[in-house]
Amino acid sequence: MKPEIKDKLDEVKALRDARNFNSALSLCQAVKSSDTLEKQDIILFNHQLATLLKYLNRHDEACDICISTLRMSDTIPDYILAGFANIARIAADFETGAECIRRLQALSVSDSINASIIKEHQALLYFGDWLQNPKQEFVVSNVTQVFDKIHEYHEAQRPLSFLRLGDGEGNILARGEEGYEKIIDEWTRRILTMQFANLGETEISKHAEDIFDLVKKATLNADAIGIPNIKALQNPTAPVDRQLGGNIAVHLFLKRHAAELQHPLFCDSCICYDAEFAPMLKQLLVNLDFIGVIGPHSEFCNRVRGINNKVKFAFHQTPGENCYFKPSVDHFPTRFNEICEEISPPYPAAVYLVGAGILGKYYCELIRVRGGIAIDIGSLMDGISGFSQTRTSLVRLKPILDQNFGNSGSTTCHTNS
């Protein structure tokens, strides 16, 4: 490679590392438009170009670069092939990804590249098999039907657990899928790092199976379960990544364990973002004399007190998600064990609202076992408390949440912590 070309390549990499993706892309395209590049130079710049397009969520364009580069030469460096396999998988071009894997498996590669090959190969199989034939196995209920069931159980003083399963829970429940251990270990590590502040790699590995057992038990015993929308999983523009993998895993887990489920009612896992959910939640809460709350925000209690000033709260405070709130203390295992000891419904069918991430699913199970009604409202607790920044859907819902819960109430509720 000529020195001046190498300087340009280094400049592209520096801009990319600084996350100045558009400038890096423009420079890369400008260099490629010159007629001074040799074949191996073009391959190196195409690698940068495809990577930048991936970072800019232009997945199909990135994959087109990979395809044209594969056609150029049979001798492409292993690290570029591994990168192309990743790009092809995200773009859901499983044929191109498989071609990259075939070429890589024919080479003698380093341990790090080989680990990447294994993970990408598993991901290609995992996503490819399911996405080619996605099936809706369960009848999905609407918001009214969900609240009808909650009211029915409340009036009959029967315990109930309503929990919702999304990509994070799926990343954990995927641990039951045989043959995909490498990619699922990666998903588990990433989601637990997002959820918990101070767990290192060793602690995450040590506790992963324990957390799997907790979420599995809670799911199998639930009376109502929110599941990822099948139509969202068929979206051709969605990147094929950890989030999609987790959502797929929820469906695969429930299908595999269908005989062990307690005949739950199913609904969309994003049901809390439905415009009708907040008004129906308010209708449930307005006449209660007790509400248990498990989540990070005491302000939530203040907002609810604005619609029901006679209610008594049992507030079990959790650290917020690491990816949003950077808590100074751990949720798991210390605070988790404390909350498990604290949960004590004062009478049959006492209502608890839970917004506590992955561990919240097990809190719902404990509430049910101890006679209460658990409603997993997830990040809706953030939105009602005034923290809409955690989800884009909460920004859209803000006028509805303000209308139903407003800014009323200034009394600090009791904290069991």
Query: Mean pLDDT, to the nearest integer, of 123-137?
Result: 80
Check if the beta carbon of residue 377 is closer than 8 Å to that of residue 281: yes
Look at residue 408 in the predicted model and tell me its pLDDT: 39
Query: Mean pLDDT, to the nearest integer, of 358-382?
Result: 97
**Residue 131, Ramachandran bin (φ over 0: left; ψ between -120 and 50: alpha; else beta):** alpha
Check if the beta carbon of residue 196 is closer than 8 Å to that of residue 172: no
Identify the band that residue 330 occupies on the pLDDT scale cut at 50, 70 and 90.
Answer: confident
Look at residue 197 in the predicted model and tell me its pLDDT: 62
Q: Is the per-residue pLDDT at 61 higher than 90?
A: yes
Distance in angstroms (rounded) separating the CA atoms of residues 316 and 201 = 28
For each of the domains in the chain, give its residue range(s) and CATH number, in order of start. 3-131 (1.25.40.10), 140-405 (no CATH)
pLDDT, the chain, mean: 90
Identify the band that residue 251 occupies on the pLDDT scale cut at 50, 70 and 90.
Answer: very high
H or E element at residue 163: strand 160-164
Q: From the CB of residue 117, how many other CB atoms can be counted at a distance below 10 Å?
A: 21
Look at residue 236 in the predicted model and tell me its pLDDT: 66
Distance in angstroms (rounded) separating the CA atoms of residues 345 and 369 = 10
How much of the chain is in helix, strand and coil states, percent to nearest 5? 60, 10, 30
Q: Is the per-residue pLDDT at 411 higher than 60?
A: no
Q: Distance from CA of residue 98 to its chain's centroid?
A: 26
Percent of the chain past pLDDT 90, that is, above it, reads 71
Check if the beta carbon of residue 320 is closer than 8 Å to that of residue 327: yes
Please classify residue 353 by burial: count the beta carbons closer than 10 Å to its beta carbon, then call 0-12 exposed, 13-18 middle and 19+ buried.
buried
Q: Is the per-residue pLDDT at 323 higher than 70?
A: no
Q: Is the per-residue pLDDT at 410 higher than 60?
A: no
* pLDDT tens figures, 145-173: 999 999 999 999 999 999 999 999 999 99
The beta strand positions in 249-383, using DSSP E, are 265-268, 290-295, 312-317, 351-354, 373-376
Query: Mean pLDDT, to the nearest integer, of 180-186?
Result: 90
Distance in angstroms (rounded) separating the CA atoms of residues 20 and 37 = 24
Residue of 416 and 381 predicted with greater confidence: 381
Could you tell me the pTM of the whole model?
Answer: 0.84
* pLDDT tens figures, 381-403: 999 999 887 788 899 999 999 99
Look at residue 413 in the predicted model and tell me its pLDDT: 45
Maximum CA extent, the chain? 80
Look at residue 391 in the predicted model and tell me its pLDDT: 84
Kindly list the strands in the beta sheet with 265-268, ordered across the sheet, starting from the edge strand earlier in the chain: 140-141, 265-268, 224-227, 160-164, 373-376, 351-354, 290-295, 312-317
Per-residue exposure over 193-214, b if at least 16 CB sit within 10 Å of its own CB, e if not: ebbbbebeeeebeebbeebbeb
Cis-peptide into 279, omega within 30 deg:
no
Q: Is the per-residue pLDDT at 417 higher than 60?
A: no
Identify the band that residue 15 occupies on the pLDDT scale cut at 50, 70 and 90.
Answer: very high
Q: Which of 373, 317, 365 is nearest to 345 (CA)?
A: 373
Give whole-number Cα distances, 65 to 26, 127, 166, in Å.
15, 22, 33
Look at residue 416 in the predicted model and tell me its pLDDT: 43
Q: Is the per-residue pLDDT at 364 higher than 90?
A: yes
Check if the beta carbon of residue 17 is closer than 8 Å to that of residue 52: no
Identify the band that residue 412 occupies on the pLDDT scale cut at 50, 70 and 90.
Answer: very low
CB-hemisphere CA count at 13 Å for 186? 14
Distance in angstroms (rounded) separating the CA atoms of residues 352 and 366 = 11
Kindly write down the DSSP assignment for every residue of 53-80, as one continuous string: HHHTT-HHHHHHHHHHHHHH-S---HHH
